[in-house]
Amino acid sequence: MKIFIGSDHRGFYLKQFLKDFLFKQGYEVEDCGNYIYDEDDDYPDFAFKVAEEVSKNNLSRGILICGSGAGVCFSANKVKGIRASLAFNEKMASDLRKDDDVNILCLASDFIDNNLAEKIVLIFLNTDFLGEERYLRRIQKVQNYENRNNSFN
């Protein structure tokens, strides 16, 4: 599984930490920026880059980080085929994978530490989608709406 990771300046140091952590765990990681700490950068630039890569690579996952996690989350969800969600704890990370087949994890660097981030990321990467009919039905409804309103993408 390939992991695409990106962050703005508020998530930069957590991204660097997680990137090194994931390499040590044996994951293939592609850094989508920012590559330097820059207080003037904008989270949509990195969210769109990660989301576009994940949308093109079905077996991949993404990790996005900003201060609140919200900006990268709503930006990534503008890209067709993306199901991005925030997770603040291990239970959320597990549920968003099992129930919603989330393909991009969004993290709030202002609210979690490196240790918790490691745990959340590992659960996100190692939890399978349950694929139950009710979950599939709900995802299909979102995809149908997305296709109907494709002119916005």
* Residue 37: Cβ within 10 Å count: 12
Q: What is the dihedral of CA 7, 10, 12, 17, to 10 degrees?
A: -110
Secondary structure (DSSP) of 12-54:
HHHHHHHHHHHHHTT-EEEE-S--S--TT--HHHHHHHHHHHH
Annotated catalytic sites, by residue?
Answer: 66
Rounded Cα distance between 129 and 85, Å, is: 14
Rounded Cα distance between 124 and 23, Å, is: 16
**Owner of token pair 């993408």:** 153
